[in-house]
Amino acid sequence: MQPLSHLNSGKMPAMVDIHAKTPTRRIAQARAVVNLTQEIASRFQNGDLLLAKGPVFHTAILAGIQAAKRTDSLIPLCHSLPLENCSIEISLNDQNQAVVVAEAGVFGKTGVEMEALTAASIACLTIYDMCKSLSHDIVISDIRLIRKTGGKSDFKTSEAAQPPI
């Protein structure tokens, strides 16, 4: 079994040493789902829902991008990355789900998977926060990495969005 990268030889937590790694273009895409009630979903018009706190999807996109830029402050041992790109798309499907797809990119020595996952997660939490006044029967699910390129290996699930956002 491969050892965990965030434990040193003494089995204590440690940041992964990336000093000898070669920088490459790295992109990661994550997806998450917010299961809304029929009542909430029916209130969305023209791609968004305007509530007292503002437009739900627009606010969630801004929150997700802001969170991606602060991932190293939120998750211990994450490297600080100078993100070169972060974008989020949110769509409402016919199953009353807000589907969030977040993409982050950097030219660097370590990947941006955690930044993409953080962006998707916080965008979902923002949708929840903004819609909870309508119902607390909202479920966030299926937060996952769907694509990454750069570094040692590439990864892609069958649900990876094509082309990248």
Tokens of 6: 């965030």
pLDDT at 164: 46
Q: How far apart (Å, rounded) are the C-alpha atoms in residues 4 and 68?
A: 24
Q: Verify whether residue 154 is a known catalytic residue.
A: no
pLDDT at 165: 44
Helix (H) or strand (E) holding 92: strand 85-92
Tokens of 78: 């994450």
pLDDT at 2: 65
Q: What size, in residues, is the chain?
A: 165
Tokens of 100: 């969030």
Q: How far apart (Å, rounded) are the C-alpha atoms in residues 36 and 142?
A: 14
pLDDT at 45: 82
Report yes or no: 124 and 32 within 8 Å, Cβ to Cβ: yes
pLDDT at 95: 96
Nearest to 159 by CA among 7, 58, 36, 32: 32
Q: Which of 17, 129, 142, 154 is catalytic?
A: 129
Per-residue pLDDT of the chain (165 residues; tens, 9 = 90+): 666 666 666 677 888 888 999 999 999 999 999 999 999 999 988 888 888 889 999 999 999 999 999 999 999 999 999 999 999 999 999 999 999 999 999 999 999 999 999 999 999 999 999 999 999 999 999 999 999 999 889 999 987 755 444
